[in-house]
Structure 1
Amino acid sequence: MIYEMTVQVRVSDMTEGQKWYQMLLNKKPDFIPHEGFAEWELIPGCWLQVAEGVPSEGSGPIRLGIVNLEAERERLVKELQVEYFEICSRAEVPVKWATFSDPWGNRIGLFEYVDPSDTKERVKTILGRICNS
């Protein structure tokens, strides 16, 4: 049984990397066990680790579900100087999505459900699983 997950990205400059991911995620790390390493719990049981080291080329993207893709794109372009990125969609896919890179080349994706009721249902399902565990 899988009950938790962790995904790791590497950055060549931990000070700048921690600052960048703190701005991306709108919160300070939840856990810093030692120098060169920081973790954020994105949702219960789902962790993003940022470690100092050589970034892995061609991996990812890590995709994060958000509520408003257009607004988040504008925030990232303005606050983190992320290069403006295209938002994609297809009629048969219930989400729209976009992909960009952090300053170290790690690919990050964002997605938003097209129907807001799908977002509410996913949140309800996730919270229900957590509460019923």
Structure 2
Amino acid sequence: MIYEMTVQVRVSNMEDGQKYYEILLNRQPDFTPHEGFAEWELLPNCWLQVAEGTPTVGNGPLRLGVVDLHAERKRLMDVLHIEEFEIFERVEVPVKWATFSDP
């Protein structure tokens, strides 16, 4: 039985990478056990780890649910200077989604 999940992304510059994810997630990490490593518990037993290292090309996407996707897109464009990105939806499914690139 699976009771926990962890996803790790690597960043080439930990200071910049951590700041990016702090802004993206709108909060400080829950756990920083050592230099070059930060973790956020996104949901109970569901962790996002940011680690200093060589970023992996071609992985993803990481999808996170938010209450208001349009408001969150505006916030990310304002504070992270992400270029405008499209929000997709399909009548037959009860979700909307959007994709943007992590610098």
**TM-score relative to the length of structure 1:** 0.76
Aligned: 1:29 with 2:47: no
**Secondary structure of the equivalent of 2:92?**
coil
State the identity %.
72
Equivalent pairs counted in the alignment come to 103
Gaps of 5+ in 2: none
Within-5 A mapping of 1:53-92: 53-92=53-92
Structure 1 counterpart SS, 2:9: strand
For residues 64 and 4 of structure 1, the distance between their equivalents in structure 2, rounded to whole angstroms, comes to 16
The structure where strand makes up a greater share of residues is 1
User: Aligned ranges for residues 1-133 of structure 1 at < 5 Å?
Assistant: 1-103=1-103
Cα RMSD, aligned residues only: 0.6
**Paired residue type of 1:16:** D
Offset at 1:83? Answer: 1.4
Return the offset for 1:82: 1.0
The structure with more radius of gyration: 1
Structure with greater proportional helix content: 1
Tell me which stretches of 4 or more aligned residues in structure 1 moved more than 4 Å: none
Distance 1:83 1:56 in 2: 22
